[in-house]
Amino acid sequence: MPKFAVGDHVERIIGQHVPVHVCRGIIIRVIPNKFDFVPQYEVNFDDRLIAKLYETQLRLIQRAKDLK
């Protein structure tokens, strides 16, 4: 079961040298895993860079439903 949903604001936590412009972003797509181990997400970062990251590489900042 995915931990994050589309629209959630997240922060990238894995990586010793993560550039500032790819630290915080918004989940734009949940990529299902057929084995249901660790889901992947497409994240749109502040500079419009889109990256695929695993759930273990992200930390929740704010849920999309809390923004309304």
Residue 32's CATH number = 2.30.30
CA distance 29 to 32: 9
Domain count, the chain: 1
Residue 4 in any domain: the answer is no
Average pLDDT over residues 32-37: 76
Q: Residue 16: which domain range? A: 9-67
**Torsion of Cα atoms, 31 then 51 then 4 then 61, to 10°:** 180
| pLDDT tens digits, one per residue of 4-14 | 999 999 998 87
* Amino acid code (one letter) for 59: R
Q: Examine residue 50 and state whether it is found in any structural domain, yes or no.
A: yes
Residue 36 has a pLDDT of 65
